[in-house]
Every structure is written in C-alpha cells, then in structure tokens.
Amino acid sequence: MSDRETLEQLQECLNSTIAEERVAALEKLGDYGEAGLELAARSLHDEIEWVREVACKRFVTRSDLIFLLSQGVQTWNKWRAITVYLDGWEADLSGVDLRGKDLKKVNFRECNLRGADLSGADLSGAKLYKTDLREADLSNANLSGANLSRANLEGSILTETNLQEVNFKRTNLSEFDFSDRYFYKINFSGANLSYTKFDGALLRRTRFTKANLYGVDFTNIKLDRTTFERASFERANLTGCNLKSINLKSAKMNNAELEGADLSSANLSDVDFSTKVMNNVNFSRANLKRANFKNSTLDGLNFSEAKLQNSDLQSANLQGANFDRARLKGANLEGTLATGMSAIEADFTGCRVGDADWSGANLIGADLSQIYFNRVNLKNADLMGANCYNTALWESDLTGANLFGIELSHIHFWNSTMPDGTKQ
C-alpha cells in the first residue's frame, strides 16, 4: 500500500465516531512528515480531550512546532492550551522568523522565543506570560493589549513597537530606553525598570504599583492619571517633573533627585523622604499624612495647605518654608530649625515641639492648642491671634514675640522668657 493510500485510510479512521480508532490512527502518523502533521493538527479540535492530548504529542521537534504555527493561530492556540499544563513539554521556537506575521491573540505562554525575529508582526492581544524573549527583535511589532507579565525581555529590541495597553506586570525591563515614547494604559506593576529611561515620555493612565524604579530617568515626563503607589524611586531622577495630583502613596524616595519637582496636590501619604536635601520642590495641597521627613533639608519649600497630619519632621530644616493653612495635627516637630517659617492659620494641634528654633516664625492665626513647647526658641515670632488653648511653654524664649490677641491664661508657662524679657 502506498503512503498516499495509507494516509487516506488513516484519515478515514480519524473521522471515526469511535475515539479509540481516532487515537490509534494518530499514533501512526509519525512517519508521514507534514502530511501526517496536518492530519494531527486537525485533531486538535476533536471533541474528546483524550484525543486532543494524543494529537498534541505528535508535535515534538522545533520544525514540528513551526509547521503547526503555519496552520494558523487558532490551531496553535488549541495545541498550546493543552501542552502548557503538561509536565516537561517545552515549546522551543528560538530564532524563528515570524517577521510581519499576523499573530493576533496568539498564545505563546511560556514559549522559548529567544532570538526570534518578530519585527513588524501583529501580536496584539497575544499571551506572552513568562515567555522567553531574550534578544528577540520586536521592532515595529504591534503588541497592543498583549500580556507580557513576567516575560524575559533582556536584550530584546522594542524600537517603534506599539506597547499600548500592554501588561508588563513583574516583567524585567531594566535599562531599556523609552525616551520620548507615548504610553497608554500600561501596567508596569511590580516590574523591574531599574536604570530605564523615560525622559520626555508621555504616560497616560499607566500603573507603576510596587515597580522597581531604581535609577530611572523621569526628567521632563508628562503624566496623566498615572499611579506610583508603593513604587521604589531610589536614586531616580525626577528633576523638574510635573507630578501634580499623582498617586505616590507609600512610595520609597531614598536618594531620589526631586529638584524643581511639582508635587502639588499629589498623594504622598506614608512616603519616606528622610535625610533628603530638597530644593525648589512644591508640596502645596499635597497629602503628606504620616510622611517621613526626619533629618531632611526643606528650607524655603512650599507646603501651603498641605495635609501633614502625624508626619515626622524631627530635626528637619524648615527655614523659610511656607506652611500657610497647612494641617500638621499630631506631627513630630522635635528639633526642627524653622527660623522665618510662615505658618499663617496652620493647624499644629497636639504637635510635639522640643529643642527647636522657631525664631522669627509667622504663626498668625495658627492653631497651637495642646502643644508642649519644650526649650523652643520663639524670639521675634508673630503669634498674633493664635489659638493657644491648653498650650504649654517650658523653658522657652518668647523675647520680642507678638502675642497680641492671645488669651495668656490658657497657656501653661514654666521658666519661660516673656516678650518683655521677664520670666514666667
């Protein structure tokens, strides 16, 4: 019997209503090259799972897989949906040439595409979860809507690649250059973006939750509804960045460069700014609840109308800073250097202020109730109209201070120097 006649006979068996006969026919297809593989590919759509699994096992070698892919995305996806869960079943497509191919919604999950040429390919909506794309050429490819979560893109080429709405969750994108690129609805949550360049990029509705942004260059970026909650900005360059109204809750700013950054109205609650030197940063109307500014240099910065409740400003340099109408209830201001600070109508209720220098501070109309001032220098400070209900001043210096409009009977003095130089 000729090979042709044998294949026709096997095809009849594959059309049998009896599953055992279909399986027996599939097991005999291994010696008939692409003709046999074509018949096996059809069986991937069989209604019986057992038959589909046997058909899957006909595709073993790299050349088998390349042939299978040539049968169309739907057929490939049938095969991959089964084999991805079979132990020890690898999909090796390393170095494959898929330039310009239509691979919309293809399932390459956990496949080896190392060194593959995917330039100009349409991979929109593709499943590339945990896919090995090292050294792959994805230039000019369409990856819009693709899932590249935990993919390995080390050394890959992403020049002019369409990355809109891509899921890069927990993906390694270290040292890529995304300068001047446009990103829309990208998920970078948990991704490693260390030393990646985003300078001049436009990021709209993009998520960086828990992302590693060590040493990232964000200079001159433009942001729209982008979130950086719990992201790590250690040694990142945010010079001159407009971060107005951006969500940076619980972000780590260790050694980040923020000079000239606009953080007005941003959510910076629980952010650690400790030991930082900041110049020309705008924190006006920002949410800085529980933020850590311990030992930081903040002189001359704008904190007007900011929410700083329960923040830690211990030993911070606040000289000339603007805290007008800011809310600092419960904040730690121990050891602060705040000479010339402006805090008109600010709320300091219940703050801790000890061993601090607030000389020359403007505290007109401020709420200083329930504060324990311990060894605080308030020389020439203006406290006109301030609320000092149940306030304590221990061993503090009010020489030359303006106390007009204050009900002194509400203050507890102990060994403090009054404006006229007398002790009380």
85-115 pLDDT, tens digit per residue, is: 876 677 999 999 999 999 999 999 999 999 9
Q: Is the pLDDT of residue 4 over 80?
A: no
- Residue 406 is predicted with a pLDDT of 94
Average pLDDT over every residue of 307-312: 98
CA-CA distance, 191 to 270, in Å (whole number)? 21
- Residue 397 is predicted with a pLDDT of 97
Number of residues assigned to the chain: 424
Residue 156 CB-half CA count within 13 A: 31
Average pLDDT over every residue of 291-311: 96
Confirm if 101 and 121 have CB atoms less than 8 A apart: yes
SS3 of residue 64 by DSSP: helix
CA-CA distance, 341 to 359, in Å (whole number)? 8
Instruction: Residue 361: count other Cβ atoms within 10 Å of its Cβ.
Output: 28
**Phi (first) and psi of residue 25, to 5 degrees:** -65, -40
H or E stretch covering 7: helix 3-14
Place of tokens 């924190």: 283
67 — alpha (psi -120 to 50), left (phi > 0) or beta?
A: alpha
User: Which tens digit of pLDDT belongs to each residue from 9-49?
Assistant: 777 777 888 888 887 877 877 667 788 878 888 888 888 88
CA-CA distance, 316 to 339, in Å (whole number)? 12
User: Which tens digit of pLDDT belongs to each residue from 142-152?
Assistant: 999 999 999 99
User: Which tens digit of pLDDT belongs to each residue from 397-419?
Assistant: 999 999 999 999 999 999 999 99
Residue 422 has which token pair?
């007398």
Average pLDDT over every residue of 303-322: 97
What residues are paired with 302 via a beta bridge?
A: 282, 322
Which letter does DSSP use for residue 37 in this model? Answer: H
Place of tokens 């404006």: 419
Q: Is the pLDDT of residue 162 over 90?
A: yes
Q: Is the pLDDT of residue 2 over 80?
A: no
- Residue 87 is predicted with a pLDDT of 67
- Residue 19 is predicted with a pLDDT of 81
> Alpha carbon of 39 to those of 29, 89, 142: distances in Å?
8, 21, 32
CA-CA distance, 4 to 289, in Å (whole number)? 78
pTM > 0.75: yes or no: yes
Question: Helix-strand-coil percent breakdown of the chain, rounded to 5?
Answer: 15, 20, 65
CA-CA distance, 286 to 307, in Å (whole number)? 6
